[in-house]
Amino acid sequence: MNFVECHDEPIHIPGYIQSFGYLIGIDTASHTISFLSENIKDVFNIEDITALLGKKLSHYPDVFQPILNSDIFENADFLSRRENETYFDKITINEKIYHFSVFRSNQFIFLEFEAVVENRYKRITSKYDNFYIIDSEQEIWDQLLTTISKIINYDRMMVYQFMEDGSGRVVAEKNNGNLESYMGLNYPEHDIPRQARELYKKKRKRIFSNVYS
Quote the pLDDT of residue 118: 74
Model confidence at 204, pLDDT cuts 50, 70, 90, reads: low
Between CA 42 and CA 30 the distance in angstroms is 26
**Structural domains in the chain?**
21-115 (3.30.450.20), 126-202 (3.30.450.40)
HSE-up (13 A, CA, CB side) for residue 77: 2
pLDDT tens track for 118-148: 766 555 455 555 666 677 888 889 988 988 8
Q: What is the pTM of this model?
A: 0.64
Between CA 147 and CA 140 the distance in angstroms is 11
Amino acid residing at 173: E
Task: Name which residue leads in pLDDT, 170 or 18.
Answer: 170
Task: Name which residue leads in pLDDT, 113 or 209.
Answer: 113
Contact 36, 49 (CB under 8 A): yes
% pLDDT > 90, the chain: 32
pLDDT tens track for 191-202: 877 887 777 777
Contact 37, 23 (CB under 8 A): yes
Between CA 46 and CA 49 the distance in angstroms is 6
> Rg of the Cα trace of the chain?
20
Quote the pLDDT of residue 34: 95
pLDDT tens track for 82-103: 676 788 889 999 999 999 988 8
Between CA 34 and CA 206 the distance in angstroms is 25
Mean pLDDT of the chain: 81
pLDDT tens track for 159-199: 989 888 888 899 999 999 999 999 999 988 888 778 877 77
Contact 138, 172 (CB under 8 A): yes
**What mean pLDDT do residues 65-88 have?**
74
Task: Name which residue leads in pLDDT, 84 or 31.
Answer: 31
Model confidence at 1, pLDDT cuts 50, 70, 90, reads: very low
Contact 27, 107 (CB under 8 A): yes
Contact 122, 90 (CB under 8 A): no
Quote the pLDDT of residue 76: 57
For the chain, what percentages of helix, strand and coil (3-state, to nearest 5) are there? Answer: 30, 25, 45
